[in-house]
Amino acid sequence: MSDSDLDSKAHWEGVYSQKRAEETSWHQDEPALSLALIQRSAIGRDAALIDIGGGASRLVDRLLALGYSDLTVLDLSAAALRQAQERLGGRAAEVRWEVADITRFEPGRPFALWHDRAVFHFITRPDDRRAYVDRLTQWVEPGGQVIIAAFAADGPRRCSGLDIVRYDAAKLGAELGGEFILQEEQREIHLTPAGREQRFGFYRYRKVA
């Protein structure tokens, strides 16, 4: 693991060791748009779904309540995952939890749906973005669905004290390559706990090969 990897992990462990999920700027009580896009993807309730950077998000709670049964939540921060596990109580045992860097993750099995709200836009180095896309390409099954949410072209330039890369559909599509076909695009204005606006783009793709 490089020095930059260690710095990144230390950053997110620090955030979730010092704050509850509800205090972070990216917190959502109801991940409504993510849920709507997942449901419109029409994957089966028993299909393999991974939430990249899911951390302490409530998305996993809602997916369990809807009957999705093959769920993996990945995050760089063990502290973030512990918050989700504590909140879920006994139901946490129904989820696979992975403490990992997505640019190095090797799950060993394919996924029908890959969901990422606000991880990809933190990846500022081109070689790390290529590593992310390599894993996306390898581990999403043919015909599988990909949902990526990132700060929009008119969104913030930084988050949690870190630089990000802003995206529109054309820019994100160029990063992902021709194996992923855009199915729909949605805009969302997220209000932080402090009342500030964050403009997001949500993009749903289908893997064609």
| Domain containing residue 117: CATH number | 3.40.50.150
pLDDT at residue 22, as a whole number: 67
Could you give the count of Cα atoms lying within 13 Å of 80 in the half-sphere of its Cβ? 30
The Cα–Cα gap between 185 and 202 comes to 6
**15 close to 83: Cβ distance less than 8 angstroms:** no
User: What are the pLDDT digits (tens) for 68-91?
Assistant: 999 999 999 999 999 999 999 999
| Structural domain boundaries enclosing 184 | 3-207
**What is the token pair recorded at 60?**
């996993």
Number of H helices, E strands in the chain: 6, 9
pTM: 0.90
The number of distinct structural domains making up the chain is 1
